[in-house]
C-alpha cells in the first residue's frame, strides 16, 4: 500500500513559493467551504444511513452485530489513539512550521511523519493480532462462547483497517491544513458506496460483508487521497528525518492527545463491558441509537469543526487572538442553532424515528423499542456532546492538549461510576444516560476553563442568542407535542418533521439570533451576486 508514497513524489518539483501561491489560490473561504462540506456531508450521511438501514434489515439488533461491534473496538482504538492524535496535532504544527520556516521545511517534516507513522502502524497491526483474542474476552465478559468466537473472527479480518485509518487521518489533515475540505469529504461517500456493495453482494456472509467490506472501504479512501496528494504536492516524499524539529513537536504534543483519545475509547470499552451482561442485541441497539444521534452531529459539528479548526490554528499562530475568540463564539452559536432543535426533536420522537429508519427485515419491533429508549437518553447529551468537539479544538488550536485530557479523565471516572449505578435499575437506558451526564459535565468544565483563560468568549452575546434559539425550539417543541400522534407512520413522521422544521425556521427568522442573521445575509449576498 505504501508504494503510493515512494520516491516518485520527488518528480516535477516546484519552488516552495510557487507551491504556496498555488495552494493559496485553491483555499476556500470559511463560508463557502462550510457550505460545500455540509452539502457533501449531507449526501454522505444519507448514504451512511442507507448503509445502516441495510445492516439493520439484514442482521437486526442480534448477536452478529454485537460481535462485530466488539471486534471493531480494538482496531478502531489503536487507529484512533495513533491516527487521531497525529491528525489533531498535525494541523496546528504544520501551519506553524509553514508560517515560520517555509514550505520545504514543513514538507520535510510531513514526509517523515507519514513514513514513520506507517511503520509504527504496521507494528501496531502485528501487536493487534497477538492481543485480539485476549482483548475481546476482556471487554465482553458477558458474551457466550459462540459470540466470542464470532467476534474474534471479525477481528482477524478487520485488523488491517487500523493501518488505513491512521494514514487516512494524516492525509485528511494535510488537505485541511490548506483549507481544502471538499475531497476528503467526498471520499467519505466512497466509503459508504463500497461498504454497501459488500453488504448487498455478500449479505449471507457477515464476515465478508461487514468485516472485509469495512476494511476495503477505508483502504479505498486512503489510496485516493494518497494519489491526489502526490500530484498536488511534489515535496511530499518518503523520508526518515527522525530529528526534524516538526516531528519532535508533534511527538511532544501528541502524548496528551494520545491519552485524551484513549480516555474517549476507554469510555466506549467501559460501556461495552457493562452492555455485554445485558440481553443479546443490547450492544447493537445502543449502537443504532448512537447512529441516529450522530445525524445532527455528523451534519453540523463535523462539518463546522473541520472547516474552523485550521483557521483558528492559523489565527493563533499569527497572534490574532481576538479574531480567534470571535470565530469560536460565532461557530459555537451556529452549532447551537442546529443541534438544539435536533436534540429536542429526537427527545420527543425517539421510537418513531427509529421505526422509520430501521424497522424492517431482521430489525423487529422489540429492537425498535430498545433502540428508541436508548436514543431518548443519548439525546439528553446531544447539546453538550456536539459542543465538546468545538471546545476541544479551541484548546488544540492554542496548542494546549493537556487540559482536555485532564478533564476527559474526570469524565471517564464519572461515566464509569454512573454506569455502575444506573445499569442495574435502568439497564441499557442507564448506560445511555451515563454517557449524556458525563459529557455534559466535561463540557461545562472545559468551557469555563476556556472562558477564564481567554478572559471572556463573548458570553453575554452567546447567552442572549442561546435564549433566542431556545425560545424558537420551545415553540417548535409545542408544535411537535400536538402532532406527535400523527408520526406513527412513515408518511405522518415526514409530515410532522417537515412542519416542525418550518415552524422552527419561522421562529428563528422572527427572533433573529446572530448566527441566523449571518446565514441569511450570506444567502442574500449570494443570490444578489447571482
Q: What is the distance between the alpha carbons of residues 418 and 423, in angstroms, rounded to a whole number? A: 8
Cβ contact 317:99 at 8 Å = yes
Beta-carbon count within 10 A of 401 CB:
23
Say if residue 364 is in the same domain as residue 470. Answer: no
pLDDT (0 to 100) of residue 29: 54
Say if residue 372 is in the same domain as residue 501. Answer: no
Say if residue 152 is in the same domain as residue 262. Answer: yes
Q: How far is CA 168 from CA 118, 134, 389, in A?
A: 11, 27, 19
Cβ contact 35:299 at 8 Å = no
C-alpha cell at 118: 506507517
Say if residue 409 is in the same domain as residue 481. Answer: no
Cβ contact 146:63 at 8 Å = yes
pLDDT (0 to 100) of residue 11: 34
Residue with cell 479548526: 309
- Nearest to 113, CA basis, from 179, 161, 169: 169
Say if residue 494 is in the same domain as residue 445. Answer: no
Q: What is the distance between the alpha carbons of residues 115 and 5, in angstroms, rounded to a whole number? A: 8
- The residues of the chain scoring below 70 in pLDDT are 1-38, 234-235, 237, 239-243, 260, 302-303, 306, 515, 519-530
Residue with cell 489510496: 223
Q: What is the distance between the alpha carbons of residues 302 and 295, in angstroms, rounded to a whole number? A: 10
Structural domain range at position 519: 464-530
- Boundary of a domain, candidates 418, 441, 457: 457
Torsion, Cα of 264, 270, 273, 276 (10° steps): -70
Q: What is the distance between the alpha carbons of residues 362 and 209, in angstroms, rounded to a whole number? A: 16
Say if residue 449 is in the same domain as residue 511. Answer: no
Q: What is the distance between the alpha carbons of residues 291 and 429, in angstroms, rounded to a whole number? A: 16
Cβ contact 151:143 at 8 Å = yes
Say if residue 356 is in the same domain as residue 479. Answer: no
Element (H, E) at 11: none
Say if residue 389 is in the same domain as residue 473. Answer: no
- Nearest to 218, CA basis, from 28, 37, 83: 83
Q: pTM of the predicted model, to two decimals? A: 0.74
C-alpha cell at 408: 476527559
Burial label, 17 (beta-carbon count in 10 A; 0-12, 13-18, 19+): exposed
HSE-CB for 81 with a 13 A CA cutoff: 14
- Boundary of a domain, candidates 406, 424, 457: 457
Say if residue 132 is in the same domain as residue 179. Answer: yes
Say if residue 287 is in the same domain as residue 403. Answer: yes
Say if residue 433 is in the same domain as residue 341. Answer: yes
Cβ contact 110:422 at 8 Å = no
Q: What is the count of structural domains for the chain? A: 2
State the helix-helix crossing angle for 303-317 and 161-177, rounded to 10 degrees.
Answer: 60
pLDDT (0 to 100) of residue 4: 34
Say if residue 20 is in the same domain as residue 109. Answer: yes
pLDDT (0 to 100) of residue 263: 78
pLDDT (0 to 100) of residue 297: 80
pLDDT (0 to 100) of residue 30: 56
Helices and strands of the chain, counted as H and E runs: 22, 0
- Boundary of a domain, candidates 457, 482, 507: 457
Amino acid at each position: 500500500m505504501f508504494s503510493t508514497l515512494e520516491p516518485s513524489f520527488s518528480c516535477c518539483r516546484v519552488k516552495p513559493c510557487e507551491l504556496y501561491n498555488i495552494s493559496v489560490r485553491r483555499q476556500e473561504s470559511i463560508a463557502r467551504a462550510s457550505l460545500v462540506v455540509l452539502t457533501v456531508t449531507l449526501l454522505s450521511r444519507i448514504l451512511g444511513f442507507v448503509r445502516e438501514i441495510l445492516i439493520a434489515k439484514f442482521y437486526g439488533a442480534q448477536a452478529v452485530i454485537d460481535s462485530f461491534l466488539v471486534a471493531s473496538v480494538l482496531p478502531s482504538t489503536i487507529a484512533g489513539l495513533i491516527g487521531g492524535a497525529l491528525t489533531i496535532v498535525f494541523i496546528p504544527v504544520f501551519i506553524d512550521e509553514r508560517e515560520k520556516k517555509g514550505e520545504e521545511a514543513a514538507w520535510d517534516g510531513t514526509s517523515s511523519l507519514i513514513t514513520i507513522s506507517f511503520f509504527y502502524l504496521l507494528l501496531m497491526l502485528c501487536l493487534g493480532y497477538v492481543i485480539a483474542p485476549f482483548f475481546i474476552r476482556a471487554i465482553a465478559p458477558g458474551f457466550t462462547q459462540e459470540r466470542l468466537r464470532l467476534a474474534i473472527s471479525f477481528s482477524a479480518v478487520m485488523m488491517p483497517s487500523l493501518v488505513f485509518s491512521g494514514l487516512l487521518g494524516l492525509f485528511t489533515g494535510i488537505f485541511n491544513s490548506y483549507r481544502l475540505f471538499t475531497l476528503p469529504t467526498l471520499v467519505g461517500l466512497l466509503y459508504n458506496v463500497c461498504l454497501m456493495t459488500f453488504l448487498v453482494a455478500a449479505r449471507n456472509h457477515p464476515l465478508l460483508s461487514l468485516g472485509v467490506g469495512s476494511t476495503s472501504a477505508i483502504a479505498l479512501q486512503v489510496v485516493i487521497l494518497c494519489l491526489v496528494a502526490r500530484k498536488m504536492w511534489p515535496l511530499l516524499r518518503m523520508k526518515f528525518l527522525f530529528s526534524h524539529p516538526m516531528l519532535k513537536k508533534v511527538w511532544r504534543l501528541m502524548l496528551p492527545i494520545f491519552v485524551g483519545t484513549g480516555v474517549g475509547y476507554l469510555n466506549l470499552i467501559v460501556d461495552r463491558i457493562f452492555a455485554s451482561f445485558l440481553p443479546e442485541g443490547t450492544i447493537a441497539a445502543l449502537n443504532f441509537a448512537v447512529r441516529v444521534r450522530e445525524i445532527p452531529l455528523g451534519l453540523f459539528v463535523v462539518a463546522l469543526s473541520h472547516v474552523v479548526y485550521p483557521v483558528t490554528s492559523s489565527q493563533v499562530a499569527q497572534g490574532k487572538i481576538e479574531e480567534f475568540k470571535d470565530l469560536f463564539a460565532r461557530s459555537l452559536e451556529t452549532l447551537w442553532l442546529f443541534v438544539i432543535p435536533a436534540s429536542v426533536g429526537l427527545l420527543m420522537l425517539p421510537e418513531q424515528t427509529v421505526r422509520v429508519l430501521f424497522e424492517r427485515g431482521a430489525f423487529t419491533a422489540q429492537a425498535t423499542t430498545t433502540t428508541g429508549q436508548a436514543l431518548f437518553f443519548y439525546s439528553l447529551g446531544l447539546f453538550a456532546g456536539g459542543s465538546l468537539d468545538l471546545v476541544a479544538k479551541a484548546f488544540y488550536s492554542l496548542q494546549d492538549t493537556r487540559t482536555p485530557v485532564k478533564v476527559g479523565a474526570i469524565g471517564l471516572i464519572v461515566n464509569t461510576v454512573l454506569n455502575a449505578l444506573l445499569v442495574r435499575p435502568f439497564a441499557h437506558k442507564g448506560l445511555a444516560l451515563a454517557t449524556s451526564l458525563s459529557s455534559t459535565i466535561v463540557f461545562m468544565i472545559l468551557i469555563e476553563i476556556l472562558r477564564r483563560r481567554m478572559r471572556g468568549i463573548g458570553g453575554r452575546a452567546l447567552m442572549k442568542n442561546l435564549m433566542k434559539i431556545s425560545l424558537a425550539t420551545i415553540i417548535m417543541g409545542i408544535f411537535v407535542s400536538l402532532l406527535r400522534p400523527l408520526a406513527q407512520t412513515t408518511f405522518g413522521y415526514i409530515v410532522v418533521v417537515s412542519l416542525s422544521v418550518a415552524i422552527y425556521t419561522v421562529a428563528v427568522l422572527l427572533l433573529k439570533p446572530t448566527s441566523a442573521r449571518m446565514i441569511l445575509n450570506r444567502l442574500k449576498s449570494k443570490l444578489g451576486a447571482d
